[in-house]
A and B are shown apart, each in its own frame.
Chain A
Amino acid sequence: MENSRRTFLKIAGISALGLSAKPVLNAFAVSEHGGKKEAQVLTKKGALAAKRWAMVIDTRKLESAKDLEPVIEACHKIHNVPVFENKRHEIKWIWEEEFKHTFPDLENEYLNDRLKKLPFLVLCNHCTDAPCVRACPTKATFKQEDGIVEMDFHRCIGCRFCMAACPYGSRSFNFRDPRPFIKETNKKFPTRMKGVVEKCNFCTELLAEGKMPACVEASTGAIAFGDLENPESEVRKLLKSNYTIRRKVALGTGPAIYYIV
């Protein structure tokens, strides 16, 4: 009696083990030869690449607000940036600012007339050591290998730490659903939703197609864009032959937007 129960339990145990081994073996069989070729992902052919993208803005060629308007318009149009009447809800990727706010650390008591009146184009500086990247708790904002500080809107939880961290005010928060406030939707580019932060992306999507950023195209030569690490690039040539300034350099963020004044 006792002996037979013992054998019964043994057999039951071994068969349970055998049954549970089957799915495991199946899983191995699938992963070893799925029978199908693995799909791959590649970068686009003809995409523009750089070690570190940078921009040089020649303020001598952008003299008035009228000159800046088409540049701002071009950017905001292709990226579906909404227009809000209420300033507190404003979303901006690239906008105009006066000298004392653009370069507060360079402000002299008496500034020359030209600079006093000159509107400056300001945008995300795509810093080398970007404080927003460090502040982001979800890595929604991250640094690409080509130096661009990019945002992954899918990951943004809307905590706005990045906005507090950015010394340039380059980031805007969607307090409202932006869709009803977009005048003309660019169907190729997504909009954003309520509760995410957004900013300039150096037109990553255009660079991937081998095109220059929209603001560069719209500026008719006033904005140069290129690889800062390549001595032959347009930006390096401009930096070599002109005196340039950057915004709030003393903070150590390493902005990549240079201004010829």
Chain B
Amino acid sequence: MSEEKKIYDKGKVLTGLILFVVILAFPFLYNSGKAAPAPDRILTEKAKAAKECIEPKAFMKSEHMQILNDWRGSVVRDGKRIYVSSSDKEFDMSLSNTCLDCHSNKADFCDKCHNYASVNPYCWDCHIDKPKENK
């Protein structure tokens, strides 16, 4: 313990260390406070009038992808096409014909959030996104 500890090339090491920390932190500092706010959900009149989706809002927000995944399995593979929600309401399990019937504003309702979260669901490769609109 009596031997004094010594850093060789103290100046260089310290500058190097500081430089390293600064470079590492630069992207975080540069972008701090600039985070894009989460987009607002825009509801259609029909969706507003319905008050509640097939399940409570919070549940839909976090679980809609799981629900849709379960629905496609149930409809295509088991032939079960009716969903009875936790509040005992019945719905036809169909993305195009049930979900988009209310949420007919896919660009505002679905895409905005999906773009924000950087997810690319491939639903729309096959499912028709504007069931009500005449092309």
Contacts and interface: CB of A to CB of B under 8 A. Distances in A.
B86 A39 contact: yes
A193 B125 contact: yes
Interface in A135-154: 142, 144, 146, 150, 152-154
A44 B92 CA distance: 8
Interface stretch (A62-70, A158-166, A184-192, A228-236): A184-192
Contact of B84 (A39, A142, A154, A208): A39
Nearest to B83: A41
B79 A204 contact: yes
Contacts of B135: 185
Contacts of B80: 41-43
A185 B125 contact: no
A187 B96 contact: yes
A37 interface: yes
A44 B128 contact: no
Contacts of B79: 43, 47, 144, 146, 204, 208
Interface residues of A, number: 27
Given A41-B93, A144-B79, A185-B135, A191 B86 contact: no
Interface in A157-197: 185, 187-188, 190-193
A40 to B, nearest CB: 4
A185 B72 CA distance: 21
Given A38-B86, A154-B72, A187 B77 contact: no
A42 B82 contact: yes
A208 B92 CA distance: 11
Contacts of A6: none
A126 B5 CA distance: 84
Interface of A: 36-45, 47, 142, 144, 146, 150, 152-154, 185, 187-188, 190-193, 204, 208
Interface of B: 55, 70, 72, 74, 76-88, 90, 92-93, 96-97, 122, 125-128, 130-132, 135
Which 3 pairs across A and B sit closest by C-beta, in order of nearness? A193-B125, A42-B82, A40-B84
